[in-house]
Structure 1
Amino acid sequence: MYKTDNRTICKPSRRGPEHHIRYIKYLGEGSFLVDGAADLCNNLLKNGYRIAIITNGMKEVQLERISRSELSNSFEQIIVSEDAGYQKPHQGIFDYAFNKLNIQNKEKVEIH
């Protein structure tokens, strides 16, 4: 167990599924943006750019984290590796994202 933000979090253990469920719940509560990320995304949106996220990880955790972010309503799509069947940096997850976003001209896409 460890403490974060005055909460005690249980790591997954052999104790049973209830500990794993609690761990996943608390893991999804952590939502932290890199300095300048909100300004950058907001400026891109104001200038007509489409924004999406491609993320590895567990869908439940990633969607909860993004929903807690100040940017939660900024993304056209949230692509999670669990749905795509591939993880970054495999080309398959990017092809999946291009399909979801209906992008044919991949040369006009910027990935960070």
Structure 2
Amino acid sequence: MALKWLLYDLDNTLLDFDSGAEKSLNETFEEFELKNKQALIASYHQVNHRCWQRFEQGEIDIPTLKRLRFELFVTENSLDMNPAMLNRSYLTRLSQQVKEIDGARTLLDQSHRRFDLVLVTNGFAEVQHPRIERSGLRSYFKHVIISEEIGSNKPSVSFFEHAFRLMEQPERDQVMIIGDSLSSDIKGGSDFGIKTCWFNPKKMENTSPVIPDHTVESLELIPGLWSL
């Protein structure tokens, strides 16, 4: 059956989250006059990755994730400072970061002419809403779903059930999710029975049991999948 709906992930699919996070961390650590910034940034990324893994596996919720990652970061680096203040500074800066992935705007222009679009993100509402509005991407999407606001996250079935209720229950083979994360976007889509496209610009090897229907290394290749 022909595609009717496209679900787009936001971070590192349409907007360059990694560069925005790096810039925001640098500015935050400068504000608090922390030394060895690069080592601290590497440490933060490790802690953050562990926390997001626990979140995707359903072990912790968004408020816990938001609080815990800077608490662990401060503890593991023996820093004498308030983790909540670090967190607030970082999130405020992050909410202003809107650098686009190459080809994102062109892809959305093409997508919007042919399909109904839904933005699906596991991010924090206080960060994602300003980024979506500031970037000018909001007008492309019929619905925007942020995990914190609905109480469930990719890859959970409940996240996709919520999306399908908003979409008025299309046939599952009429829907494709496009995202950079095998563990949330592709696993969630595959488990729910919709088509999946893994955006893999870094050409990473897939060593997971999750098998996407399609893999692309550039956003400009995605329109070629729509008639397959």
Say whether the fold is shared (TM-score over 0.5): yes
The correspondence for 2:154, drawn from 85, 88, 95, is 88
Give the structure with the higher percent helix.
Answer: 2
SS in 1 for 2:173: helix
User: Counterpart in 1 of 2:94?
Assistant: 27
Give the CA deviation at 1:16.
6.4
The residue correspondences of 1:16-95 to structure 2 (distance < 5 A) are 17-47=84-114, 49-95=115-161
User: Counterpart in 1 of 2:55?
Assistant: none
Distance 1:68 1:103 in 2: 30
Size of the aligned set, in residue pairs, is 108
The letter for the 2-side match of 1:109 is V
SS in 2 for 1:110: strand
Structure 2 segments unaligned to the other structure (5+ residues): 1-21, 33-69, 75-80, 179-228
* RMSD (Å), alpha carbons: 2.4
SS in 1 for 2:139: coil
Distance 1:43 1:77 in 2: 17
Distance 2:143 2:101 in 1: 20
- What's the TM-score, normalizing by structure 2? 0.42
Identity value in percent: 27
- What's the TM-score, normalizing by structure 1? 0.79
Distance 1:75 1:84 in 2: 17
Give the CA deviation at 1:39.
0.7
